[in-house]
Every structure is written in structure tokens, then in C-alpha cells.
Structure 1
Amino acid sequence: MQSTSNESKILLAIQAIKNDASLSIRAAAKIYSVHYTTLGQRLKGRPSRRDTMANSRKLTDLEEESLIRHILDLYSRGFPPRMSSVEEMANLLLANRGMGKVGKNWTSTFVKRHEEVKTKYSRNIVQEDIYNFDETGFLMGVIALGMVVTSSEKNGRAKLA
């Protein structure tokens, strides 16, 4: 990955070439101590490595943001999604674009990449401890132990922006 000082040298060289039409790419690269092919590519509009999205990222930034908001919304309602549910949500977003599926470790790297969410084990409530129903009823299959994705907030519910 390029250092910020090298990046600033490239930007200075680009500015010098734009200001002085007689200055060649090789001459500017030599003056500013940067590689001439990198400078040429950047002049043609190629973004720096730092500004590009990694090839391993299948979802766009907007899709990932909407997925985070949906996870936090489910968590705020008391139903944090399981890791497999997050993977299914991502696959649905990709299916809408006609893309393939996410990889087997995608969900865990997604959670590591976003500080708004984290994983926890949900509580294992045994059948004998369930009593005194209220108006909300009982949702079958929700009580089993499993890894869920929750808000990274320490106390209280998730904050939806």
C-alpha cells in the first residue's frame, strides 16, 4: 500500500503536469521521485489503491449500509439476526443484481469490517424455563442457541441514525 508521502508526491506531480503543458510524465516523475507508470495511470483517471474497493467485497457501500441498518433495526426490535440470516440477506441483495453468492466466511469478515455491529451468542432458554405468556405470543425456533449479529453498543438498544 502506498504511503501518504508517496501519494502526496504523485498529487504534486499531477498538479505540475496540469500547470505546465511542456512537462512530460517522465520528467515530472523524476522531479517528484515517483514511478512514471503510476503517474501516467493516475493522469488517465485510475484511482489510488487506497481509494479502490477491494475485489473481495461483493456488496457496494450502499448495500452494506442498508444491510447494517436492517441488522440494527431487527436488533432494536428484539430479534437480532443469526449469521446465516445475514448471509441470506446479502445473497438476496446480490441476486437482485444478478451476481453470485457471498463466500462461506463473508459474514464474519463483514462484521469485523463494520464497528457498528458485533457477534454474540444468543441465550439458550430451555423449555422448562418458558412460562407466563403475554400478548406477543411465542415464536417457535427463535429461542435456540446460536451466533447472532447485534449492535456494538454496550448498553441499551441500537441507535438508528
Structure 2
Amino acid sequence: MLVYVGMSLLYKFYLQFSVGSAYYPDYLTHLVAKQSEALFKALGYQVEMLPHPKEPSVMVMIENVYTARIIEGCNSLSVIILFLSFIIAFASNFKNTFLYMLSGSVLIYSINLFRIVILTLGLYHYPKQEAFLHTVVFPAIIYGFVFLLWIFWVNRFSEIKQKDA
């Protein structure tokens, strides 16, 4: 719990010090928007990422249609903090824990980019399904993946698993 609170506070300070930076709304969210844009373009969509004029977010324009927005919560950092806190709580030896934390964070970040693209394309092609896509599909992808990583960790590497065996 202390690890989660500590990392969450660091993240909060990061967001506070990001206000007014060259990257809008903050560096990590800006990076996620740019990388998502590259994925859209790789799929053949004409996409543009624009700073939202009224709120700290990036507007996703597909084929000149305002389809979605990328906010700070879309950058996956809060989910990665939750993931890391769990792994530390059920740590193994330093090498396994560190490598799993690193690889898991990279995987979560990558899955998040694909999640943004899937949701946004879903909103573009099926705008009437917005509530279902955003409240069911969107969280299921990222939290389902994190849950699978946790299960794998506990069953394969965690000291708790090894003590019970």
C-alpha cells in the first residue's frame, strides 16, 4: 500500500509540474497521442492529433471527424503504478522482480496504445456504441491484461507461491 501511495504521489507531482510545459497536456500523454497517431497511420487512417482548446487533452480527428480525446488517464501510468505495487507486494528475488516489473510495464504501455486505437476506431465506425465501448471494452482490455500478468506472476515467480510448494 505504501508503494502505491508513494508512486501515486510522485505521479501527482509530475502532473502538477507538467502544467505549462512544451508538451500538452503532459509529456507522457503527449507521447501516447503521438504513438497512437503512428498506429492509426500504419492502419491507413488519416488522423490528426490536436490540443483540445478547452481542456487538457488531445483531440483525435479521424478523417476530419472529432472522434475521441486522449486525457491524462489514457497514458497508462496509473495502471502501471497499480501493477508495480502488486508485483512489489508479492516480490521474488530482485532480478526476477525487476525484470517482470520492466517487461510488464512495457507490455501494459503497448497494450494501452492498441486499446486507444481499438476504442477510437470503434467510436469512429460505431458511434452509437460509445457507452459500451468506453465502459466495458476499454477497461476490460487493460485491466484484464493486468490481471493476467498478476496471475502469471503469482503462479510463476512470487515468493508466496514458492513457500507454499
What's the TM-score, normalizing by structure 2? 0.22
More strand as a share of residues: 2
What's the TM-score, normalizing by structure 1? 0.22
More helix as a share of residues: 2
Larger Rg: 1
